[in-house]
Structure 1
Amino acid sequence: MIVISISILFDSKLVHVQPIPFRFRIVTWNAGKSEPDCDAFRHIAFPSVSNNIIVDLIVFGFQEATKTVVGSNSFHKTLKNCLQNENYTAIISGYVGSAILKPIWLYIFASDRIGKSQRVNLLKFKEEYILKVYNGNFLGRITGYKGIIASCIQIDKSINMIFVNMHLPAGKGEKEERCRLWYKFLQEYQSNIIKNDYLFAFGDQNWRTLNILSVEAILEAIKKEEYTTIFNHDELTQMRQKNSTESDTQCLKDFFEAPITFPPTYKYVLNSDAYQIEKDEEVRRPSYTDRILISTFSNDLEIIQYSSINDVKLSDHRPVFADMILHQRSKNNEMSKNTSTEKIRTTTNHIKTIVKQHILTFLMTIATMTFVCILIFLVMCQLIIKCQTQKTDMQQTAQINIVGTPSSVES
């Protein structure tokens, strides 16, 4: 029975019921037409504040990234080469906006290990792997740099995740324009058959700190690390908290955001930790323009960290990243339950088959051994009988010899 238990435990055909956690990182950064080198890209892809967490997937959303397609220092080429040296390969890369100035790039890099496992599959929006939404009319495709780009992947052939990088219209008081572009994307997206389990909306969303909070109060809150004070006076936060039926107040209303524990990411003086609070005699309040939002939050999606990357100072924006772990399905519970039940049933049936096979083998072995023992017993009996017969014959012969000897002498 010990042999049977060991065989069942290590049998390679058993079905694994528990899914393997999937780790991924989302990074958004308005690069401000900068030309980062490989070292800067490493800081963005593998932030020092991320506690050296190894992820299966890295999603980059860049805004105002230069579209230099030639030369060793090009944004696109440098990023790909740098990540390739770290054993990550681009499975999606594309841009939306101006083909000349400051396009919006979306990249998805998979680790070589996860690529070989085939856990990640790309899904199409109708005929394309990338969905693009431009701001404004046809002219915006040539000269504009505001828009939205999205791509979809499927994890373990069951969970769909949509990654949406955006650069929304700038300027304080322009929340209606920002929401209008978001609604335009939703209209394009919803015309596709593809469903989502999780939609991640990130990028330079250009939400500003409201005027009711002075610049001095903002700087004081930053100094004391009282970021909640600033966040509570954030344009998006205020808009999402309103119970109004106006269309602009519903923009991203149902999306979840992890608690913000970092200073505003805009607007910095280049290569400095100081904020640029004036430009062209206009007051600029430090703001949380760069965000990562999630359409659905559940116990299956664990947010490990949500922070800014303060050691990359090439732009007037600070990069923002979020590390997450997807444990298992939370939506379509019935489907998940049925799938798990089927796996358990398959495992149970397989175990029963193995047990039957081992029991049959065991019984056949016992029967064979019993048959051999019977044969040995019969042979032994035959030998005993034969020995007894030979002994009797010898005794009779001896008696005859003894009786016949005197007769011979007398004669």
Structure 2
Amino acid sequence: MLLLFRFHFLLQSPAAGSSSPRPGEMHSAAAEAPLWAQRAVDAARVHALQVKAAGAQVKAAVEQQVWQPLAGVKPGASSFTNLPAAGPLPPLEVRVCSWNLHGNQIHPSDVVSRWLAPDGVAADVLVIGVQELVDLGPRNMVMNISGDEQRQAALEARVEQALQSLPGTAAGNHEGFTKICSFGMVGLALLIYVRSCLRPYIRDLHCDRVKTGLDGIGGNKGGVVVRFVLGQVSVCFMNVHLASGQNAVAERNQHLATVLADAFQATSTKGGARPGKNGFERQSRYSAGLHHLSVILGDFNSRLDLPKDTPWPSGSQQSWLSRDQILLGQASSLRGFREGVISFPPTYKYNIGSSALNTKRCPAWCDRIVYKADYGTEVELGEYASFPDLRHTSDHHPVAARFQVFLASPSPTQRSERPAW
């Protein structure tokens, strides 16, 4: 049974009553009707969707980054089987996973399936974001602006091996998965898999990269962003790696604000042109934070707010959260986003291969997943956890969150909310 967690309000959402643009699109006088009000239009497009589902609609965004279903995995029964390729879908289970790999390939001793599907069953949508896929030295910043193909391929292989090893659905059948997106920027990589039976429901897939390192020149920091529509639900996932250092709060805020503002735009917040290239259309049609579900995952580099001469916090680990910079409200760029209650140990910094924190660095919850649901979307957070057993690869612990998403206006009694910190 899905457990509904309490969650933090990071900052209050914009005032009620303000004009609401179409989910996933910029506000304009010519904006079309909201997605959930277009059932009649969608019904008329059923035939076109069926014809184009094999490639045209998804391929229009990043043609070279769309793959066929995993080889050797037979499709099986699921709650989506035999549904028409239009109209409302049942509630979707979305799993979002994040891990800073510290420049290393995933160690053979780290069991990836425990992170991707700890209960042995994969979600309907699986989002995997990693940071520091490669070392962030000057050479990689210059040579691997689009990511490292070999490391990316190795990451995909480990993920797909884990998916193929799952015992299957409740009915005992293996479920096929389709990789709809895989791309990167220097050390950032973002992969998205969906159940193969959901492939015909996907449309309007768009990807983008936003560099924020070295004042927008370097791709060592910033974000890789993907948005698409699944059935009637528009979603956007942003994998970010923000500025490091205890005193870099303002810089982190600026980095995140830039990713949110510049993704999919033809003009940057600095006024410079962002021409479409490498499959990135950048037509200022979509806004990253305006979707039915918007999720930011990654290494936020949030630190503990401590006096300068305090090398290590006192008290229990749970009490350290009272000093977390994000929970203290120092991340104004996260206005309107929420986060589940943190009940896991700090995710940074560990001695690799050990569960012991490195005493030379102050521990922190650097690795986070935050989300925002809009336009009548109900989101239930069923899990928000770290995975300390995967300790042989990095000085960071991976984290994951599991959401159930459906279009429904919730009543006030359906939510258990914690006030802003």
Separation in 2 of the partners of 1:159 and 1:17?
11
Shift in alpha-carbon separation, 1:52–1:41, aligned structure 2, 3 A: closer
> Are the aligned partners of 1:234 and 1:288 in contact in 2 as well (CA < 8 Å)?
yes
CA distance in 2, matches of 1:23, 1:215: 41
Residue 32 of structure 1, CA deviation: 0.8
Identity over the aligned pairs, expressed in percent? Answer: 23
Change (3 A) 1:320 1:151: same
CA 1:122–1:310: 2 relative to 1, 3 Å: farther
Report if the CA contact (8 A) 2:90-2:406 is conserved.
yes
1:296 aligned onto 2:376: no
Q: CA deviation at 1:153?
A: 2.0
> Which residue is equivalent to 2:159?
79
1:9-408 mapped onto 2 (5 Å cutoff): 19-36=89-106, 40-47=111-118, 51-66=119-134, 69-70=149-150, 74-83=154-163, 87-96=176-185, 98=186, 103-115=187-199, 118-124=200-206, 129-136=207-214, 140-141=218-219, 145-156=220-231, 158-189=232-263, 191=265, 192-194=284-286, 195-212=290-307, 217-218=313-314, 220-222=315-317, 227=318, 229-240=319-330, 250-278=332-360, 284-296=361-373, 300-313=378-391, 314-330=393-409
TM, length-normalised to structure 1: 0.61
CA RMSD of superposed structures (Å)? 3.2
State the alpha-carbon separation in 1 of the partners of residues 180 and 164 from structure 2: 12
> How far apart are residue 81 of structure 1 and its match?
4.7
**Offset at 1:306?**
0.6
Deviation, structure 1 residue 73: 8.4
What is the CA-CA distance between 1:293 and the residue it aligns to?
0.7
Equivalent-residue separation in structure 2 for 1:33 and 1:311 (angstroms)? 19
CA contact (8 A) 1:301 1:326 kept: yes
| Structure 2 CA distance for partners of 1:302 and 1:53, relative to 1, 3 Å | farther
| Residues 304-360 of structure 1: per-residue CA shift (max 9 Å, x gap) | 0111111100211001100110122449xxxxxxxxxxxxxxxxxxxxxxxxxxxxx
Letter of the 1:88 partner, please give it.
F
Structure 2 gap ranges (5+) = 1-81, 135-146, 167-175, 266-283, 411-421
1:105 & 1:318 partners in 2: Cα distance?
Answer: 17
Tell me the residue number matched to 1:383: none
Closer, same or farther: CA 179–161 of 1 in aligned 2, 3 Å:
same
Aligned-pair distance for 1:177? Answer: 0.8
In 2, Cα distance between equivalents of 1:139 and 1:180: 14
Give the distance between the partners of 2:215 and 2:407, measured in 1 at CA: 42
> Would you say the 8 A contact 1:90–1:109 is kept in 2?
yes
Residue 80 (structure 1) shift: 4.0
TM normalised by structure 2 equals: 0.60
Q: Name the amino acid aligned to 1:193.
A: R
Per-residue deviation at 1:132? 3.3
Change (3 A) 1:91 1:190: closer
- The structure with the larger Rg is 1
Contact 2:127–2:192, Cα closer than 8 Å, also in 1: yes
Cα 1:320–1:105 change in 2 (3 A) is: same
Cα 1:263–1:167 change in 2 (3 A) is same
- Cα drift, residue 251 of structure 1: 2.1
The 1:221/1:122 distance shift into structure 2, 3 A limit, reads farther
Report 1 or 2 for greater relative contact order, CA contacts < 8 Å, sequence distance ≥ 6: 2
